[in-house]
Amino acid sequence: MAKILFRLPSSNILAPVALLLLTCSCSNYYRHLEPAAAEKTAQAGIFTAQTEGLAYDTNVRFRKTEVSGILFIQPQDSSRYRMAMTTKMGQKIFDFTLTPQHFTVNYCFPQLNRKIVLQLLEADLRLLTEYFDSLSAASAFTDTRSRQTVFRIKKGKSYLYFRYDNTGEQPAGLESGSKRRPKILADLKDYEGALPHRIKLEHRMIFPLRLDLSWVSLNDE
């Protein structure tokens, strides 16, 4: 059984953390973006075209806690997903249902069943299911550092960023945050068709969460 420990930060580290957050808040992560004339009419969600279940070998890190297992993703329609993670021995870690309006916790391992952890996991999983029928309202940029084309779209109080390499039809990265800095970064690599086989998600917050996903075949013997 996975042993999961949570410790709140002690008072003697809160001051350095606050100073770090203040420093970060004064910088602009997107200072390398310059307006561009790029166009893109649509972007499907990463899992939208999938009708069969998917599996990813998954590692979750939250502060000093680390859990590994298999994440199963079952699309139930173009915007509804069942996502469940188990250890490789079959012990259930969590089981979520995700729709555009709701995030339902069907089960969660008690040590992970905490509000902040569930909020971070929901934010990660939602970012991976974002899609747009039209990017007509998007602002286009060139990142002068990475040479990627970036589309920024306003969604609610936040902004979504879709990053594309020069030769890529599928996004190389997704980000969610403000105009100055991201809260979540998603790195997408090793595509087969429209499906990335490697995904890395990272939170830039006082409670950092990181997920590393590597696709595995459900047909392997």
Least confident of 133-137, 175-179, 216-220: 133-137
Inter-residue contact 194 to 44 (CB < 8 Å): yes
Mean pLDDT on 13-40: 68
**pLDDT given at position 168:** 74
φ, ψ (nearest 5 deg) of residue 19: -65, -40
**CA 65, CA 7: separation in Å to the nearest integer?**
10
**pLDDT given at position 134:** 64
Q: What is the CATH number assigned to the segment(s) 32-216?
A: 2.50.20
What is the tens place of the pLDDT at every residue in 153-202? Answer: 888 889 999 999 987 788 999 999 999 999 999 999 999 988 999 999 99
**pLDDT given at position 3:** 43
Q: Which residues pair with 152 in a beta bridge?
A: 139, 161
pLDDT reading at 51 higher than 80: no
**pLDDT given at position 88:** 87
What is the tens place of the pLDDT at every residue in 55-104? Answer: 999 999 887 788 899 999 998 877 789 999 999 898 999 999 999 889 99
pLDDT reading at 144 higher than 90: yes
pLDDT reading at 131 higher than 60: yes
**pLDDT given at position 148:** 94
Q: Which residues pair with 141 in a beta bridge?
A: 35, 150
Between 207 and 123, the higher pLDDT residue:
123
Cβ neighbours around 24 below 10 Å, total: 12
**CA 66, CA 207: separation in Å to the nearest integer?**
14
Integer Rg of the chain from CA = 18
67-98 in b/e form (b: 16+ CB < 10 A) is: bebbbbbbbeeeeebbbbbbeeeeeebbbbbb
Please count the residues of the chain.
Answer: 221
Which residue's entry shows tokens 């979504």? 160
**pLDDT given at position 7:** 45
Amino acid code (one letter) for 106: N
What is the share, in percent, of the chain residues with pLDDT greater than 90? 49
